[in-house]
């Protein structure tokens, strides 16, 4: 059985399956790309041929424009297998955002799984992560420090609802990224019984429409910009994190600035951003999830694409797993992956 490193290569453009002739989440324009999910540090415009889930293709097309998300597109369902030049290829849910997939490959009995970004916790807007045993597991490490242990997302959301009940005159403005976190928050609010309208910053409207078109029901959504100030008393407004502390939010009625992110685990980070109500809700695996997952797939070797790889590789070595840091360029620059400018744990 060939070692996965003999056929899955690390190149300047990213991971390349040599016998299959395709790149995974390439950072440069390539001929054949397999894309794990729609976040812009994984899905870039301009590839000739793009293979991904139907949802990821729809997200990419909405963000990049028709024709920019692959000259030709090929959709693959979770669990559906394809053979490309002798390489078996299939996708498993990654639980990160709608359509997010782990890319599983088998070449001559040697199996590698590239997980993209992932989380293990339940998310009403993303199919739940599935463990695929393999010989080589490729993981992210965004929150790979023992300090990062995400509490239950439901408990964090309950804090938001308590605050809304406590301050009915004020407008709660929750900073969240437009792809994934925004729709997850909306779906969780609906599950928690919030059936009133949810107001959106303009930046969040288009992606919510894509989710709805893909069958994720988000309920009554309204534009926050056209609503009268008084109409937003007691309302929940979702906006990009950058908008929460700036002029845009100040024109709301006594806004309560909140942000939903794994980084809110770091108190100092929340304070710096002027966040009154930090909500630790992450679409990335925390320390325990990373370790549990790397062990669950039973791979003797784990490659770490980006993030805080040192602690993870050390912890894996204590469990007899060989780790390797790939330092892939361009990953972790978008969405929640983006580490704060100042090291939060320093």
**Distance (Å, rounded) from C-alpha 243 to C-alpha 58?**
26
In the complex with Zn ion, the residue whose CB is nearer, 117 or 289, is 117
* Residue closer to Zn ion, measured from CB, 39 or 308: 39
Instruction: With CB under 5 A as the rule, give the number of residues binding Zn ion.
Output: 2
Give min distance, CB of 277 to Zn ion, in A.
Answer: 24
Nearer to Zn ion, 110 or 115 (CB): 115
Distance, in Å, from the CA atom of 48 to the CA atom of 180, rounded to the nearest integer, reads 26
Considering only the stretches 10-18, 35-43, 214-222, 256-264, report the one whose residues sit in contact with Zn ion under the rule CB under 5 A.
Answer: 35-43
* Cβ–Cβ under 8 Å, residues 83 and 89: yes
- Regarding 309 and contact with Zn ion (CB under 5 A), the answer is no
Dihedral sign for Cα atoms in the order 281, 287, 288, 289: positive
| Between 117 and 309, CB nearer to Zn ion | 117
Cα 13 to Cα 42: distance, rounded to the nearest angstrom? 11
166-205: which residues touch Zn ion (CB under 5 A)?
none
CB of 49 to Zn ion, least distance (A): 22
Question: Smallest distance from the beta carbon of 337 to Zn ion, in angstroms?
Answer: 6
Q: Which of 17, 22, 26, 39 binds Zn ion (CB under 5 A)?
A: 39
CB of 142 to Zn ion, least distance (A): 9
The residue (of 39 and 63) whose beta carbon lies closer to Zn ion is 39
What radius of gyration, in Å, describes the C-alpha atoms of the chain?
20
How far is residue 310's CA from residue 324's CA, in Å, rounded to a whole number?
Answer: 9
Tell me which stretch binds Zn ion (CB under 5 A): 3-11, 24-32, 37-45, 227-235: 37-45
Residue 117 vs 123, nearer CB to Zn ion: 117
For residue 187, the minimal CB distance to Zn ion (Å) is: 18
Tokens found for residue 154: 């439901």
Return the bridge partners of 22, or none. Answer: 17
Separation of alpha carbons 96 and 129, rounded Å:
8
Q: How far is the CB of 208 from Zn ion (least distance, A)?
A: 17
Give the x-and-dash track for 216-235 against Zn ion (CB under 5 A).
--------------------
Closer CB to Zn ion, 122 or 192, in the complex: 122
d(C-alpha 238, C-alpha 173), whole Å: 6
DSSP conformation letters of 98-122: TT-EEEEEEETTEEEEE--S---S-
- C-beta of residue 156 within 8 angstroms of C-beta of residue 181: no
CA-to-CA dists, residue 224 to 160, 209, 240, 300, angstroms = 18, 16, 12, 50
**Nearest distance, CB of residue 42 and Zn ion, angstroms:** 6
Tell me the HSE value of 330 on the side-chain side, using a 13 A CA sphere.
17
CB of 210 to Zn ion, least distance (A): 15
Nearest residue to 279 via CA among 294, 301, 261: 261
Closer CB to Zn ion, residue 97 or residue 224? 97
- Beta strands, E only, 29-183: 32-34, 49-52, 72-75, 82-84, 87-93, 101-107, 110-114, 136-141, 172-175
Part of the chain binding Zn ion (CB under 5 A), chosen from 1-9, 113-121, 129-137, 184-192: 113-121
Residue 21 phi, psi (nearest 5):
70, 25
Distances (CA, A) of 305 to 113, 138, 168, 187: 12, 7, 45, 30
Of 39 and 181, CB closest to Zn ion:
39
Candidate ranges 47-55, 109-117, 239-247, 266-274; the one touching Zn ion (CB under 5 A):
109-117
Q: Least distance to Zn ion from the beta carbon of 332, Å?
A: 9
* First CA to last CA distance, the chain: 43
Applying the rule CB under 5 A, the residues between 60 and 89 that interact with Zn ion are: none
- Single out the segment in contact with Zn ion by CB under 5 A; choices: 13-21, 27-35, 111-119, 211-219: 111-119
Which member of 25, 117, 123, 309 binds Zn ion (CB under 5 A)?
117
Residues near Zn ion (CB under 5 A): 39, 117
């Amino acid at each position: 059985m060939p070692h996965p490193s003999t056929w899955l290569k690390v190149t300047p453009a990213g991971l390349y399956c040599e016998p299959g002739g395709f790149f995974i989440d390439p950072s440069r324009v390539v001929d054949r790309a397999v894309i794990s999910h729609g976040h812009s540090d994984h899905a870039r415009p301009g590839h000739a041929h793009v293979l991904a889930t139907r949802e990821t293709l729809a997200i990419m097309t909405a963000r990049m424009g028709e024709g920019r998300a692959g000259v030709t597109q090929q959709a693959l369902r979770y669990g559906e297998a394809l053979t490309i030049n002798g390489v078996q290829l299939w996708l498993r849910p990654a639980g990160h955002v709608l359509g997010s997939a782990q890319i599983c490959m088998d070449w001559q009995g040697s199996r590698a799984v590239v997980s993209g970004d992932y989380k293990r916790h339940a998310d009403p807007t993303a199919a739940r992560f599935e463990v695929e045993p393999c010989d080589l597991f490729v993981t992210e490490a965004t929150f790979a420090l023992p300090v990062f242990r995400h509490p239950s997302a439901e408990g964090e959301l309950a804090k938001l609802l308590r605050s809304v009940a406590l301050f009915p005159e004020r407008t709660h403005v929750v900073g969240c990224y437009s792809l994934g976190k925004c729709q997850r928050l909306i779906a969780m609010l609906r599950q928690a019984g919030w059936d009133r309208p949810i107001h959106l910053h303009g930046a969040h409207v288009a992606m919510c429409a894509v989710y709805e078109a893909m069958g994720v029901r988000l309920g009554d959504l309204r534009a926050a910009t056209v609503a009268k100030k008084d109409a937003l008393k007691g309302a929940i407004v979702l906006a990009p994190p950058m908008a929460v502390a700036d002029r845009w939010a100040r024109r709301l009625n006594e806004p309560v600035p909140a942000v939903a992110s794994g980084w809110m685990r770091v108190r100092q980070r929340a304070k710096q951003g002027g966040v009154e109500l930090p909500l630790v809700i992450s679409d990335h695996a925390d320390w325990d999830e990373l370790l549990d997952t790397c062990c669950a797939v039973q791979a003797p070797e784990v490659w770490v694409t980006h993030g805080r790889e040192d602690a993870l590789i050390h912890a894996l070595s204590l469990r007899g797993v060989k780790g390797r840091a790939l330092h892939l360029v361009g990953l972790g620059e978008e969405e929640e992956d983006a580490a704060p400018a100042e090291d939060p744990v320093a």
